[in-house]
Amino acid sequence: METKRRYEYATPAAGTMPAAVAPERALRVFTQPERNPGTPLDLDLIRALRINRSAVERRAATIPTRRTVKKEWQAAWLLRAITCMDLTTLQGDDTPTNVLRLCAKAKSPVRPDLLAALGATDIGITVGAVCVYHAFVPVAVEALQGSRIPVAAVSTGFPAGLNPLPQRIEEIKASVAAGAQEIDVVITRAHALAGAWEALYDEVRAFREACGGAHMKVILGTGDLATLVNVARASQVAMMAGADFIKTSTGKESVNATLPVGVVMTRQIRDYHERTGYAVGFKPAGGIRKAKQALDWLILMKEELGERWLRANLFRLGASALLTDIERQLEHFVTGRYSAAHRQPMV
């Protein structure tokens, strides 16, 4: 056990960042993560990062083949996936009607009869958060009153993130003022592509300050970042600048969350945790539609980061259509018959 403990709570690696955390403190962190305050920008570390794309892709390819969960285990894991879900709608034609429907589903994501059959009624399954544009924050906040489900707002000129900086800062503040407890910010991809890491660091720092008490998820837009080493560097800069979560995609890029990108980002989270003692969360988003994909992401988290990262406080799945597929799989487990989407209450 001794060695396992050493890994989970990680002694800081020698010669990099100052050890920020004592083992006792890390133990406390395990139950209630302390917010990542960020660190100074360490450009030496950023520039020394090496990512071998082919090797990462091989690893990613075996994540779904080395592990699988079946029967009760699969049902339980799928319920866990629901609790980690940021149930999302980010469409130009969003109106209160569909946002309210989304919030209702967030509070009761699985049919009660299925939960009863699974013996999971008492767990109190809800999604991790509801994620909307700023305009619908008040609607969602009101609809979710009393549910303890936080509202997340995409912000900072989502999805391109190219609005003037003062406007982006104001947008964060406005969403926080409207009741959003989580802010999903997008980075200026140009900074990452140009290697302007100081600029990126300053930008994310400013976002973090504007968030105040709201949790900040930093969307890297990995589909725009061209290389995995850029993904790794942007991940590290975002964490150094105080990200609570790092998130893959807006869902609007041509390439969404992929497992290789997930492998790279989770490894950076692990590294950051080993160096600083702070646990940063991870959110893949975009293109996650099937229950099997949700399981793959959970397996990735468990394998690369550990059990601790299988909770909503450190893991979110950004998704819209995923929930219905998970419900169908749960019904199949309960009845032994394949289910249909129309049998599940609409999202």
Partner 1 sequence: MTTVSEIFETMAYGPAPESDKPALAWLDQHGRDFGLFVGGRWIKSKSGGGFDVINPATTARLARVTQAGEADVDAAVAAARKAFPAWSALSGHARARHLYALARAVQKHSRLLAVLESLDNGKSIRETRDLDIPLVARHLTHHAGWAQLAHSEFAGYGPVGVVGQIVPWNFPLLMVAWKIAPALAAGNTVVLKPAEFTPLTALCLAEIAHEAGLPAGVLNVVTGDGRTGELIVNHSDIDKIAFTGSTEVGRLIRKATAGSGKRLSLELGGKSPFIVFDDADLDSVVEGVVDAIWFNQGQVCCAGSRLLVHEGIAERLVAKLRARMEKLRVGPPLDKAIDMGAIVAPVQLERIRTLVNTGVEEGATIWQPSWACPTEGYFYPPTLFTNVSPAATIAQVEIFGPVLVSMTFRTPSEAVELANNTPYGLAASVWTENINLALDVAPKIKAGVVWVNCTNLFDAASGFGGYRESGFGREGGKEGMWEYVKPETRKAEVGTRNKRPRSVPRSAFRAPRSAAIPPIDRTYKLFIGGAQVRPDQGYSRKVLGPSGAMLALVAEGNRKDIRNAVEAAHAADGWAKASGHNRGQVLYYLAENLVQRADEFAERIAAMTGHDVADGRREVDASIARLFSNAAWADKYDGAVHQTPIRGVTLAMNEPVGVIGIACPEEEPLLGFVSLVAPAVALGNTVIAIPSEAHPLAAAELYTVLDASDVPAGVVNIVTGAKDPLAKVLAEHDDVDAVWYFGRQAAGAEVERASAGNMKRTWVEWHPRDWHDNVQGEGREFLREATQVKNIWIPYGE
Catalytic residue, candidates 86, 105, 217, 283: 283
Q: Cβ of residue 140: shortest distance to partner 1, in angstroms?
A: 26
- The residue (of 208 and 275) whose beta carbon lies closer to partner 1 is 275
- The residue (of 13 and 194) whose beta carbon lies closer to partner 1 is 13
C-alpha separations of 186 from 73, 95, 189, 248, 262 in Å:
35, 23, 8, 10, 17
- The residue (of 67 and 205) whose beta carbon lies closer to partner 1 is 67
Sign of CA dihedral 220, 223, 226, 232: positive
* 244 is an active site residue: no
Residue pair 309/287 in contact (Cβ under 8 Å)? The answer is no
| One-letter amino acid of 96 | P
Residue pair 217/181 in contact (Cβ under 8 Å)? The answer is no
3-state class (DSSP) for residue 182: strand
* 184 is an active site residue: yes
Q: Is 287 exposed, middle or buried (0-12, 13-18, 19+ CB in 10 A)?
A: buried
- The residue (of 120 and 165) whose beta carbon lies closer to partner 1 is 120
Q: Cβ of residue 226: shortest distance to partner 1, in angstroms?
A: 8
Residue pair 86/285 in contact (Cβ under 8 Å)? The answer is yes
Catalytic residue, candidates 86, 184, 224, 271: 184
Separation between Cα atoms, residue 278 and residue 234, nearest integer Å: 17
Max Cα-Cα span within the chain: 57
The C-alpha angle with vertex 153 and arms to 152 and 155, in degrees rounded to 5, equals: 145
Q: Cβ of residue 178: shortest distance to partner 1, in angstroms?
A: 33
Q: Cβ of residue 298: shortest distance to partner 1, in angstroms?
A: 8
Q: Report the interface residues with partner 1, using CB under 8 A.
A: 1-4, 7, 13-14, 50-59, 65-73, 75-77, 79-80, 118-120, 122-123, 227-229, 267, 298, 302-303, 307, 310
Q: Cβ of residue 62: shortest distance to partner 1, in angstroms?
A: 8
* 93 is an active site residue: no
- The residue (of 16 and 147) whose beta carbon lies closer to partner 1 is 16
* Residues belonging to the active site: 184, 247, 283
